[in-house]
Amino acid sequence: MLLRAALARGQQVYLPLIHDYRQRRMALHRYHGGLLRANRHGIPEPMALGWLHPGAADLIVVPTLAFSRSGARLGTGGGYYDRWLARAHLPPRRRHPLLVGIAYADDELPALTAAPHDLRLDRIVTERGWIHCHEEDPT
């Protein structure tokens, strides 16, 4: 429903498409509507059309299994988003894109150690609302 609404408003929508499972490489590809194919993880993917450079995006929604208020996150362990964003060579204090994790509120942890290469979220949205992330964990 969200994808259809965005397309109806004339917004550009990009979805992740895994290119190389061994190297764990993905990119975001333009979605124009239509059918999505499930990849080997069962995640719906678009057909490979135009791809997006991470620095050109205004907002990227990142799946999140656990998070802390500092913006540290646990994903599925594949590192797909981290690798994709690292290849873009975005400056550490970027203003774009806004990285928003989507998670359940109960998945919040008081502290979460992130590796230097792990992306930090700017915001997290849960069923209870928005969390604005800050630099340090409150512990």
Across 6-27, average pLDDT: 82
The enclosing domain of 136 has a CATH number of 3.40.50.10420
Contact 110, 138 (CB under 8 A): yes
Lowest mean pLDDT among 22-26, 30-34, 40-44, 101-105: 22-26
pLDDT at 105: 96
The token duo for 110 is 């008081």
For the chain, the domain total comes to 2
What ranges in the chain are assigned the alpha helix state H?
Answer: 2-8, 80-87
Taking CA atoms, 63 is separated from 34, 49, 80, 138, in Å, by 22, 22, 11, 23
The reply to whether 72 and 129 lie within a common domain is yes
Digit-coded pLDDT (tens) for 32-64: 888 888 888 888 888 777 777 777 777 788 888
Which pLDDT score is estimated for 96?
61
DSSP one-letter code for 55: G
Cα separation, 64 vs 122, whole angstroms: 13
Same domain as 62, residue 20: no
Co-location of 62 and 130 in the same domain: yes
Q: Give residue 138's pLDDT.
A: 46
User: Full-prediction pTM beyond 0.75?
Assistant: no
